[in-house]
Structure 1
Amino acid sequence: MGSSAAKEVIERSLVEDILEEYRGENSLSHRTRRQLVNILASDMTERHGRFPSRQQKEKYALGIITVFPSLKDPFSPKGYVNQDFLLLFGAETATKLLEKWDTSFKPKVIKEAKQLTPSTDLCHLLKAAEKLAENDDNDWDSDMASVLLLLHLLPPSAGRKRRTKISPRDAADKMVHFHKSCCSIDEHLQERDGKPYILAVGRTQSRIDTFYIAVDKQLIPCQATSSLGAFDELFKSHYAFNLNYDESLVHFYSFVQTTIFNIDATSTDESPRVRELRATILNENNV
């Protein structure tokens, strides 16, 4: 569909004051952006159902950046990853991880991880998450360390194709991989499968220069500059590209999906461990 037709799809869904604000300011306030996203998400759901096709989502995304060109994600060829997720679930859902992780989830994940059987990896992650490490270049920053602690709390599943479970360290590498900036990225990509993961490029793990989402041996630069922002984009990329979770990370991603983003919480098939951890965390001071 061309730009003109896509533009018409958007314009018929908008109230005039949103268009007037953009014409006057060449931008939209945070409040108006939320209003815009909620209007379009409601319109798309009404017209195409709960799970619109990729073609339908792309039509709306193209319409947005045609009517509001200054809102296009400059780091994405089409500006779709965040826009796809916003259109599917609305602004309130899309911001949950970034708004709630530090205050509502991170402290409780650290508390639960302290009850696990200690290992070298776990101890390093706990120190990094609590910012107790002495600038160890081999440690992740506090946010990424706490996300990886969640992975330890939800051990990787064996998967239908595996007879044995993989270790949390191997599972973590399927979610985020550190790559030294002096080494060839192309060689690394050729050795990986098509499931999305974060490729963190820098001199050391504690000094990352750029985050990418790697999928199907291609790199998409993250709009975010923080590790938590990169993880937020990684999770959303599964919806933007209609991809299943990696088999070894199903429990981990299911928890993020249902407990943090509250997406399909009552209809998703979850393991007892996911349900148990959700109950523990949400019942403590009511997240």
Structure 2
Amino acid sequence: MQTNNVIRVKFKDSKRYIFSSKPFTFQSFLECVANKFDLPTMDVKVFDDSKTEVDEEALVYLLTRPDLGVLEIVIPGTANIDDSLSSSSLGDEGTSESDDTAMLITSPPEKNLAEEHRLAKMIEEILKTSPGGEKIINEYTRTKGLSDTRRRDMVKILVAHLTNEHGTSPSRRLKEEYAKGIISLFPCLADPRSKLGYEHYYNAEDGSGYLAWRIKTLQKEASEGRMKRPRQPQTGGPTADRQSYKEDCYLTEDRHCQEAIALMKHTADEAVVKEKMKLTLAYRQKLLHDPKKSADILSVFSRFLDIPGLINQDFGLLFGDATSAKLLEKWSTNIKPKVIAQSRGLTQTSELQDLIQNAEATEVEEGWDSDMSSILMLVHLCHPQVKAARDRERSQPNKHVIIL
């Protein structure tokens, strides 16, 4: 790190150059100042162009800056420091330089130095009020630097504060302020090889730097967290548990259910079939919840295929009369016409054409009735499952309608 070996210094109305063949330390600087101005003591205060006091830490940083400006020396106790600084500033307007003095050039502007001071205070306040922040400040005070661990801790603390205050996508200006505040508070952390000194914390040109990388990490973790969030259990579908019916009202023993199923397959009395279908609802629900047996519903309960109204009966038992009535009210006037219209856009197989014809019919002639036909058409609207690239199988509508 290159430092200045020539410093412009002002004491009262006198301005002089201070030279050193070796890099200045705060102690050697004070000794040179005392010798140059014949000061009776080295117990002095040093101020920069913005009238901000310069301590040992700040001097080390300022000596690396090409725009160091003029440092002013004030002896405490000889006069009020503020009065001394203000009077010397006013005196500069009417005094001319001697041969061994240099022109007082305010560079950078005082407002920039005041801004750096404000940002340094902001960073210091954030660290002091955050867990682990004092350790970062103490380590820098002791070593004039930060270990990789402490530096990472500092970045995490500052980014946490930044995102909590301004959201997970803070503006470029805010990120620059935090980066500038870091090197303003900790001058030895500045990069002398970069243009501004803080680009390794945030570089607005390419969006890189420790602060930017930490923010991107938080954004990625938040995105992955949303993706990994466990899905809420689905409340719909045929395999969902229904509480509208009570199992104690139905046959639960397999032996009794098998007897009822056998009776339904051979009786021609529709009233008996409907009654037995009611009694076997709980058994039918168990089959639906079993992935290995759910596809066999129509083979076990084959009367779904030839007796109208059985699906409506199951629906009413599962969802209650109020919900069932809503579906029935809307089906013929609202839902069924849409199903028919959508089905006309499909590839017209003979089976689908029969379903469309029956769905539009007002009377049952052959095959399914109007409502049942439109329900079966829903399955044709579903995309077929692809088993493999060379083996594509389409689900048979009349085989899986109950599962749907």
Higher RCO (C-alpha under 8 Å, 6+ residues apart) = 1
Q: Which has the larger radius of gyration?
A: 2
| The two structures share one fold, judged by TM-score above 0.5 | no
What's the TM-score, normalizing by structure 2? Answer: 0.23
